[in-house]
A and B are shown apart, each in its own frame.
Chain A
Amino acid sequence: MSDTTPLAVDMRGITKQFPGVLANNHVDFSVRHGEIHALVGENGAGKSTLMNILYGLVHPDSGEIVINGKPAHIGEPRDAISLGIGMVHQHFMLIPVFSVGENIMLGREPVTGPDLYDHAHARAAINDLTKRYGLALDPDARMGDLPVGLQQRAEIVKVLYRGANYLVLDEPTGVLTPQETKELFVVLRDLVKAGKTIIFISHKLKEVLDISDRITVMRRGRVVGHLITKDTNEEEIATLMVGREVLLRVDKKPANPGAVVLTVENLAATSDRGVPALKGISFELRQGEILGVAGVEGNGQSELMEVIAGTRHASGGRVLLGDRDITTYDARTERDAGVAFIPEDRRGTGLVLSFSIAENSILGRERAPTFSWRQFVLRLVAIREWARKLVKEFDIRTPSIDVAARNLSGGNQQKVIVAREMGSQPKVLLAAQPTRGVDIGAIEFIHRQIVKERDGGAAVLLVSAELDEVRSLSDRIAVMYEGRIVSIEPPDTPEERLGLLMTGGGAQKGAA
């Protein structure tokens, strides 16, 4: 790249103040033509704000933006689009009930006659684009029927159709399987070859190292590092992101499994939509071990956890705790029996957001004699003492225990749930997506707590969409596919094999 070529994107001294937060503090961010530039940082570091400013969704308080050497005024997405900036949002901007073609055309629809939508032209335009960039897509398919990987592809084609030269991808791999991620990376490299420039937002450091040319690291609204990918490593990036050294590998001793605590036999259940979600699940979980469940989301993992936790009915099979049949137990009796549950949707089912930390810390245990008199009058002093203890032990960052859960960061919300569930000293801990949307620092902490729980003799069942998490925490890995456990693998199983099993491929090894 010669020095005379102007930068593709040059953002200088960007500052944006939100009520109570300085989201961007004199941020300088520059991207060269034809590179894949990774923008990394923890939640709340200011990445999204910076990109929303570039795309015209947020207006900066000060600073300037220069696109391809020319100062740019980006008041709304339309301006960004006309400057050749395209954004693939983390939460897809797709309409499930529209066709692929309508989704791609939206906002720039071809018309004939008096404003009539021109299907033939739309189809031709899409076929032309998909051919040029090697992105196979059926323009007539209903968007909602496509797998996530193809939906994302449609998002990319949508951006290309608008003539984007600079593509911003916000956490694009968060929803993808390992195989889909690989395919995405092939696509991104092809796009660069075709002359496009890519900004890749992520907090998955392995992927960043794999795909990017240069890296900008943000922390608490500021840029804390400009790195060249080939000269850096995961540890350096993580340290910059968090502001201290972070242990990326989970440090744990080999498991020392004891007696069988939880037995699941031939379990069946249906999903919310009434279709079979579990089709005969069997496994045993022992004291002092972590059994990780890997799988593409939507293959029955959520339902499995809910049935064991007592929030969903089983339509067949049994769940035994020791030798007690707990299949028909509800959430409350499960808890009393010693099963703790970290649900995957922390804002919906894990917490009451408008309740304080103190109130949330006893949810589900409010009848215990420690916390209430005759299961009727709350012992407020004891509850507050308990909450303070949890806040201290689990390093929950909050000004006080009276703060509403809504006002905590995602990581701290998750810590409240983890603290509450582990605080009951359970025999079985069910952890569903325990670190979803949580920062590296908090992930490290939660992982350590889960291992500590195992070492204390609890049996842990872990469900996670993050293959890395399953592999680093588990002592055994069960792979789920379409409501069945297709295989139970050792923790050092290569990612490729797990990925294959997760998508229905691979040899059918005997399930335990």
Chain B
Amino acid sequence: MTALGDVLHLLFTANLWQATLAAAVLLLLPALGGVISERSGVVNIAMEGMMLTGAFFGVVADLAWHNVWLATGVAILAGGLMGTIHAVVSIQFRADQIVSGIAINIFAGGLTVFLVNRIYGLQDVGHVGQSELLPYINIPVLDQIPFFGKVLFQQNVVVYAALVLLVLTHVVLFRTRLGLRIRAVGEHPQAADTAGINVFMLRYGAVITSGLLSGLAGAFLAIGVSNTFVPGMTDGRGYIALAAMIFGKWTPFGAFIACLIFGLGEAIYANNSIIHISPYLLSMLPYLITLIVLAGLVGRSTPPAADGLPYVPGSE
């Protein structure tokens, strides 16, 4: 069989698309967080660190309490805590938001390795039992639909949650008063302030929300897709989510489409056993597409006007 034939064959298997969606969700959650944060005017490149922190504390909590829901809650809060740090540093103290983001990413990497050594010594972190992982749920009846049943309705609980969050984020940002205000704060904080809107509160809320979402992604990664914590296990997903956010022009659905493209690359890579192209070449493809697309094929991607600019009340 030719290589092209292999790929085509693979593209028609439900397994591939099931894996694609799961991989995409892992990116979608932090990307949604990024969209919310940056729409409010705070640049957030710290999703990687927030996700990693969430993954670590999720595993720790799950091993300690043997309760996956509690552990997921801990993971979300851990991500939210990192988000709070980013918020305080960049909103309250008006520090450079890129620097703060980098600091959080490095800090999260160091902190988790340190704590792994401290808590578990030099041994492995240990594995979470099968029954203590985020469950896969088959939706009755719907999961029997040929092809689509497997892709859409035989998924992890987090995948369903993420799809709900995707729609929710879109509706909140573009259909509600809250969303209008978040976007106003990200476009022109002075205008929002003079209209009586609390710029600081909204920005805090948005940045912390991005941490919560990244924390959930961390939980999905460590106690859903995998069953343990490995240092650096996020493997750049927070950054890929960042690219997806920009690729998607700071919109939830745009980011989702980008996540699907990246997810497809990951899924093809994971299912490479049946094709005869170097898997490394294949795994490169989505990023190559991104570079080409970002270079101008989809038109310029314009961030919110006040993205990255700290707000000083009374300034112009």
Cβ–Cβ < 8 Å partners of A115 in chain B: 176-178
Q: Report the minimum CB–CB distance from B40 to chain A (whole Å).
A: 13
Instruction: Compute how far the CA of A109 lies from the CA of B196 in the bound complex, rounded to whole angstroms.
Output: 12
Contact B314 A106 (CB under 8 A): no
B316 within 8 A of A: yes
Q: Which of A73-104 contact B (CB under 8 A)?
A: 76-78, 81, 87, 89, 91-98, 102-103
Hey, which chain B residues are within 8 Å of A93, CB to CB? 188, 190-191, 194-195
Are the CB atoms of B194 and A77 closer together than 8 Å? yes
Q: Would you give the shortest CB distance from B186 to chain A, in whole angstroms?
A: 9
B192 touches A98 (CB 8 A): no
Q: Which residues of A contact B184 (CB under 8 A)?
A: 95, 98, 106
Q: Does B132 contact A (CB under 8 A)?
A: no
The reply to whether the CB of B110 lies closer than 8 angstroms to some CB of chain A is: no
The answer to whether A403 has its CB under 8 Å from any CB of chain B is no
Quick check: A89 and B187 within 8 Å, CB to CB?
A: no
CB neighbours of B178 from chain A (8 A): 115
Q: A93-B191, A97-B187 are in contact. Are A77 and B177 (CB under 8 A)?
A: no
Q: Does B143 contact A (CB under 8 A)?
A: no
Query: Which residue of the partner chain, among B175, B179, B181, B313, contacts A106 with CB atoms under 8 Å?
Result: B181
- In the assembled complex, B197 has its CB within 8 A of some CB on chain A: yes
Distance between Cα atoms of A102 and B174 in the complex (Å): 12
* Structural contact, A102 and B180, CB atoms closer than 8 A: yes
Q: Are A116 and B191 in contact (CB under 8 A)?
A: no
Tell me if A228 counts as interface (CB < 8 A to partner B): no
Residue pair B314, A58 in contact (C-beta under 8 Å) = yes
Chain B residues, Cβ within 8 Å of A97: 187, 305
A111: B residues at CB distance < 8 A: 176-177
A94–B313 touching, CB < 8 Å: no
Of B188, B195, B314, which contacts A107 at CB under 8 A? Answer: B195
B177 & A57 in contact (Cβ 8 Å cutoff): no
The residues of A that contact B193 with a CB separation of less than 8 Å are: 77
Q: Closest CB of chain B to A258's CB: distance in Å?
A: 45
| Complex CA–CA separation, A97 to B181 (angstroms) | 13
Q: How long is the Cα–Cα vector from A201 to B222 in the complex, in angstroms?
A: 61
CA–CA, A57 to B177, complex, Å?
A: 24
Nearest CB on A from B171, distance (A): 8
* 20 A-B pairs (CB sep. < 8 Å): A76-B196, A78-B196, A87-B194, A91-B316, A92-B191, A93-B195, A94-B188, A95-B305, A98-B183, A98-B187, A102-B180, A103-B191, A106-B192, A106-B195, A106-B197, A107-B192, A109-B181, A111-B177, A116-B177, A117-B175
Besides A98-B184, A109-B177, 9 other A-B contacts (C-beta < 8 A): A77-B196, A93-B191, A94-B191, A98-B180, A106-B180, A106-B197, A108-B195, A109-B180, A116-B175
Please report B residues at the A interface, Cβ cutoff 8 Å.
175-181, 183-184, 187-188, 190-197, 305, 313-314, 316
